[in-house]
A and B are shown apart, each in its own frame.
Chain A
Amino acid sequence: MSTPASQAPPSSPAKPPSKPPSKPLPEPTPETQPFWDGCGRGELVIQRCLDCGKPYFYPRPVCPECGSVNVEWFTATGRATLYSYVINHRPARGFENDGPYAIAVVQLAEGPRMMTNIIGIPNTPEELVLDMELQVAFEKRGEMSIPVFGPAAGEKSL
């Protein structure tokens, strides 16, 4: 593998730090509302099937494993590992002042995967090592709380 660091342009916010447009906010729907309510309480609430036992994410009223509608919400541990990511250099709306940022997919300890951002550690190829242990945190954004992940206790951090 080549060393990627030399490819990265110096991080130089082109504009003076003005108030950036806000980052995209999710708009809950009835089937996802309990997930977002959980985030607001600081809990990662996902679903599992009461017939086949499979935990799953994203929120929906039917088990994707067996088709059962006999499903329940539960609070996940919030532990996860880093499954894959990119470091995005073309910022989305609201991310203009963040510098290059990781758009990651993590695998929850319970099995399901979800997209997220990585906090508490430089978003560089050197620091973001696949399979590193992560722990959920919640980023306040307007009225919403967004689940993000940072290094678990014991992992190196800033």
Chain B
Amino acid sequence: MSRERGVIIAGAAETSSVGKLPDYSTLQLHLEGAVNAVADAGLTMRDIDGIATVSAPGPMQVAHALGITPAWMDGTAVGGTSFLLHVRHAAAAIRAGYASTILVTHGESGRSRVGAAPFPRGSSSMPGQFEAPYGTVGPTSAFTIPALRYMKEYGLTHEQLAYVAVAQRKWAARNPRAMFRDLITVDDVLSSRVVAWPFHLLECCLVTDGGGALVVTSADRAGDFPKPAVHVLGTGESMDAPMISQMADFTESKAFRLAGQAALAEAGITTADVDHLMIYDAFAHVPIYGLEALGFTAKGEAGAFIAAGNTEPGGRLPLNTNGGGLSYTHTGMYGMFAIQEGVRQVRGEAAAQVPDVDISVVVGNGGMFASSGVLVLGREPR
């Protein structure tokens, strides 16, 4: 992407704290993230002319609460990856001239559920008719269903699946903001209680409160902000199925693959160019699917790749370096936190900083393998 047509992330920040925040509503978390991100960019709310966030509380509520009258709004709500799509849509809007300085916000009282939207469970919806009658209880009992098929087809072992959590805890141990920081072993994971066999508690993400926001603008303004510009080099979005039972192939994520191909192609890079990687990890199998979908490993090899230490501190492909949804934080729609860590790594200001990150790739998941957005972030324009 040329500098003339390029787009940057000029401001990025999370809420001042994440974790258990019973004194914050969902809206408050949006607002604190927004205030922090706008300050990070050295701007004021008067400079913002576009807003994007998920449907609850929605772009109008967030903009109005901040005193912003946007010239462009996006309320795309396709699950936890939505914020990656917001960045993509913001890039298109900036190129089209619809807005110049766009705020993307996330806030979710996922744990304390203060001012949180109720979970949609209409019994006449398709999931309500064709999945809920079988006793699904949120993502733990449904997002996990494809894994056993994958294990049979590709020989992924229970120990390799458990090791995903072990590897990520090594990163979390270096992140003072992470909820869980004590190192764990495969035995610890396999002896934690069964939540939905073959998944144990430590193979499932946290449930926390928190938020964050981004300021997206045109690359011709790079250098005008207090922090180094993070260039949005490539973006992609796609989907698979809105119900886990209808996922096209239980052994691969079509959404990750198509969104990833689009993002890498736009950036003009291959997987060999990637210095740092974030893959949305609601459960331990999701990074395995992500590594394979984007071609970081051959199909069936990602579990062994992680178990061999390639993605942990000192490995050749640092993955989920904030500790991820498994150990850092997971509000329910985790995508914003994956972007934030990608930005920090490119800027060189992460808690567990990887040396010389020129390119970070962020892979988002929405719903349960239902949708995906992928971002390629870079220190330099291409």
Contacts and interface: CB of A to CB of B under 8 A. Distances in A.
A126 to B, nearest CB: 11
A92 B119 CA distance: 14
B2 interface: no
A132 B129 CA distance: 25
A26 B130 contact: yes
B146 to A, nearest CB: 6
B159 A88 contact: no
A125 B197 contact: yes
Contacts of A58: 126, 129-130, 243, 246
Interface string B8-50: 0000000000000000000000000000000000000000000
Interface in B120-174: 122-124, 126, 128-137, 140-142, 144-149, 151-152, 157-159
Contacts of B193: 9, 89
Contacts of B145: 84-86, 103-105
Interface residues of A, number: 42
A66 interface: no
B194 interface: yes
Nearest to B155: A1
A141 interface: yes
B196 A90 contact: yes
Contact of A92 (B123, B135, B147, B246): B135
A103 to B, nearest CB: 5
Contact of B159 (A2, A32, A113): A2
Nearest to A86: B196
B176 to A, nearest CB: 31
B250 A83 contact: yes
A91 interface: yes
Contact of B135 (A4, A9, A23): A23
Interface string A126-152: 000010000000000100001000000
A95 interface: yes
Interface stretch (A47-55, A71-79, A114-122): A114-122
B142 A103 contact: yes
Contact of B158 (A1, A26, A28, A90): A1
A25 B158 CA distance: 34
Is chain A's interface secondary structure helix, strand, loop, or mixed overall? Answer: loop
A26 B123 contact: yes
A105 B368 CA distance: 15
Given A4-B197, A58-B130, A115 B137 contact: no
A130 B381 CA distance: 49
B130 A7 contact: no
A24 B250 contact: no
Given A2-B159, A91-B135, A115-B131, A100 B197 contact: yes
A87 to B, nearest CB: 4
A117 B195 contact: no
Nearest to B149: A84
Nearest to A101: B135
Contacts of A116: 134
A26 B128 contact: yes
A95 B245 contact: no
17 contacts: A1-B158, A2-B190, A4-B158, A4-B197, A7-B191, A7-B197, A23-B133, A26-B130, A27-B123, A27-B124, A86-B144, A86-B147, A88-B136, A113-B245, A113-B246, A114-B245, A125-B198
Given A28-B124, A115-B245, 11 more contacts: A7-B190, A29-B124, A58-B129, A58-B130, A58-B243, A86-B197, A105-B145, A105-B244, A113-B246, A114-B130, A115-B131
Interface of A: 1-2, 4, 7-9, 23-29, 32, 58, 83-92, 94-95, 98, 100-101, 103-105, 113-117, 125, 130, 141, 146
Interface of B: 122-124, 126, 128-137, 140-142, 144-149, 151-152, 157-159, 190-191, 193-200, 243-246, 250
